[in-house]
Amino acid sequence: MNDMFEALEALTDRDPDRRDVAADVLGDLLRGAALDADSARLVVGRLVSVAVNEPVAKVRESALNSVSEAFNHYRLPLTLVEPAAAAMPTMERQLLVHTLYILGATHDPQAWPLIEPFLHHPDPEVCEEARLAAAEITAVESEGLTHNS
């Protein structure tokens, strides 16, 4: 647990390389399912905030990559990651791809309006990720499953 708190603290360091490493460390904790559900939500919430507010692109990408990793082991609600969607219109391609993946991984039908505008994006990789994200939501809806947050 100390690793988590140290990494969360390092997310606010002046040095962007330390912030980047901190985001990666938190991703490792999420990837390894080393956190309980409440801690995972805390970490993901902080990483989403970094992804939206961080001035350095590589740190934003590390934060979003770590959030993506969380969905392999935790059920996370759309409301937790939704702040990243507000930044999507100004995101670079790779950040946009991560964010679309994250929205689809929530399996929440309410993510559809956030994904839909990117189905016709000029970048083929963005379009494909939007299609995959929409398919994740559609598959859950057609199975009659609902996402519990």
Question: What is the spatial distance between Cα 73 and Cα 129, in angstroms, rounded to a whole number?
Answer: 21
Instruction: Tell me: pLDDT of 144 over 80.
Output: no
Q: Which of 32-46, 54-68, 81-95, 132-146 has the lowest mean pLDDT?
A: 132-146
Instruction: Tell me: pLDDT of 139 over 80.
Output: no
Instruction: Tell me: pLDDT of 56 over 70.
Output: yes
Residue matched to tokens 């100390």: 2
Which residues, other chains included, contact 34 with Cβ-Cβ below 8 Å and sequence gap of 6+? 28
How much is the mean pLDDT over the chain? 91
pTM of the model as a whole: 0.87
> How many helices (H) and strands (E) in the chain?
8, 0
pLDDT tens figures, 106-132: 999 999 999 999 999 999 999 999 999
Query: Mean pLDDT over residues 59-84, rounded?
Result: 94
Position 2 scores a pLDDT of 84
Single-letter amino acid, residue 104: G
Instruction: Tell me: pLDDT of 33 over 50.
Output: yes
